[in-house]
A and B are shown apart, each in its own frame.
Chain A
């Protein structure tokens, strides 16, 4: 998530030509944009659905080994069978079932990671923006430190120290990603403080809770939801990467990263083992990025364009 992504102007939505075909093309473009958001939403919901209903959807126990049926090809190849749509891995486990269960790990990490990062970040950012002075400098100093580090390297470093567990992974992302949320929150709090609105509201008798709920939160909610979407997608990405290096959840857990790590060994002879978890990551990430782009255009008040 870089600043430019937050300030990218909405596409030239005002470009309307008069001729029928151009107008049609314009509407097509506009619809494409909206549609891209809807596509993103559908993709995301599919992943959520897979995660929630994994036991019902997956035909096999993802952990069940069956060495007799190992390394089976996907169903649509000549040697494949629809018993195992995506084939089986080196231990004869059903890849389709494992991909479905993998969504659970990814979404759990993404959801709780963003929950922690968002809560922590909002609190820190609000304190920094509200208190100002020395407290602000200290919090901002830490935020700048974390944001200027080579992120992936430090995540790998911490994960290597803490050891493989779901809780550790969630905590790592929750804590290291909170500065991003803190920065946005602080910026918004400062902007509202400086707008002079607060003084006038206080002099008119409003109390802080009222100001927070009526003005600060409504202004923050759009940017934060957008940010949460992008950050969740990033966490899912990083979790898979850690898994690939053998640093995320324990090796027995069917996560996309673990599957990739295992499939890598058989890349040249049984490439599908590594292909499907990779496609699953890409599917999820693409859906969330499309959704995030769309949310940003729709929710970010700075981008909402009036006619003038």
Chain B
């Protein structure tokens, strides 16, 4: 278990280094980051002065070392737009995004798991059809569009929910639902197929040969095994939601990281974009690590093997 954890931690650190390298390269991929970051109408002298100030004309390895040492202490430079350090601004937006993704994930779990379970236990039933329909919709509806349609109906026409912002207790419901819908579909699909698969396993036949009650077999023998793939998919999906909230936050004017990203792209504020990319990757990597640990806790084959 310890060795497993340490190796996963090592992998995460390596991946984080990869992220830093990637971001560093990407900002320089057009060859001239200064031109990228300055307004188009800026004079050549201004651009040159900016290049000098940002250190973009120094040798690349030197720039990278600077970038890395800054990253280690959490310094990603100043936002061009606000002229203040980028990282604290990203951090300030974190709670809103976590709230949004958290509520969305909760909705996805609360609806998705029961639908998937019933679907897996009674394939072909009405509930199963509902679940599979939901999974298909979750996969096919573009969520940026669904967000617009929901605002139109539930906020503008019916007035049930505020159409933007984060000021009321129910502000979170629509954006969280839209963000969580694809995940809901994924969870239904996965739970359903896991139940179907595990129901056919030899050890379920053994459990039957012991004369156990069907209720015991489902709750004890089937569910615990279904939980294993479910945990990993939930972890992956949570990371996906945190990194994928840009449309939803933009449309609902939700003051989280996604909205900040959209704004900073509009401002061509690449130090801020860069800080967002790195920070969000860090959070996603942390969630993946946490998922791996949770996985080990419920799967004894990993817990005791390594």
Contact = CB atoms under 8 A, between A and B. Distances in A.
Contact of B233 (A2, A150, A267, A277): A2
Contacts of A245: 246-247, 250, 262, 265
B295 to A, nearest CB: 14
A35 interface: no
Contacts, number: 143
A150 B26 contact: no
A108 interface: no
A131 interface: no
A237 B142 contact: yes
B193 A8 contact: yes
Interface string A2-40: 101101110110010000000001000100000000000
A100 B5 CA distance: 53
A11 B189 CA distance: 12
A29 B23 CA distance: 50
B193 A247 contact: no
A141 B145 CA distance: 35
Contact of A161 (B11, B29, B124, B229): B29
Contact of B277 (A153, A237, A290): A153
A9 B186 contact: no
Interface size class of B (residues with CB under 8 A): 35 or more
A59 B18 CA distance: 51
Nearest to B241: A150
Contacts of B102: none
B280 interface: yes
A286 B18 contact: no
A264 B148 contact: yes
A151 B288 contact: no
Interface in A150-192: 150-154, 156-158, 160-162
Q: Which of A149, A154, A158 has the most CB of B within 10 A?
A: A149
Given A152-B243, A152-B244, A274-B148, A145 B280 contact: no
Given A151-B240, A153-B244, A289-B140, A4 B189 contact: yes
B77 to A, nearest CB: 16
Contacts of A195: none
A274 B124 CA distance: 36
A159 to B, nearest CB: 9
Contact of A149 (B19, B141, B156, B276): B19
Nearest to A29: B124
Interface string B163-199: 0000000000000000000000010011001101100
Interface string B250-269: 11000000000110010000
Interface residues of A, number: 50
Interface in B89-133: 123-124
Interface in A54-100: none
Nearest to A245: B262
A277 B142 CA distance: 10
B236 interface: yes
Nearest to B141: A282
A306 interface: no
A67 B288 CA distance: 52
Interface in A254-278: 260, 263-264, 267-268, 271, 274-275, 277-278
Interface in B29-51: 29-30, 36
A144 B15 contact: yes
B86 interface: no
Given A152-B246, A260-B144, A271 B139 contact: no
A153 B144 contact: no
A290 B136 contact: yes
Given A4-B233, A150-B244, A267-B152, 14 more contacts: A7-B197, A9-B197, A144-B11, A148-B15, A150-B243, A151-B240, A152-B243, A240-B142, A245-B247, A278-B145, A278-B146, A282-B142, A285-B139, A286-B139
14 contacts: A29-B124, A142-B18, A149-B19, A149-B243, A149-B281, A152-B240, A153-B244, A153-B246, A153-B276, A154-B277, A157-B26, A157-B277, A161-B27, A162-B30
Closest 6 CB pairs of A and B: A150-B243, A278-B145, A286-B140, A8-B193, A145-B18, A285-B140
Interface of B: 11, 14-15, 18-19, 22-23, 26-27, 29-30, 36, 123-124, 136, 139-142, 144-146, 148-149, 151-152, 156, 186, 189-190, 193-194, 196-197, 200, 229, 233, 236, 239-240, 242-244, 246-247, 250-251, 261-262, 265, 270, 273, 276-277, 280-281, 284-285, 288
Interface of A: 2, 4-5, 7-9, 11-12, 15, 25, 29, 141-142, 144-145, 148-154, 156-158, 160-162, 237, 240-241, 244-245, 247, 260, 263-264, 267-268, 271, 274-275, 277-278, 281-282, 285-286, 289-290
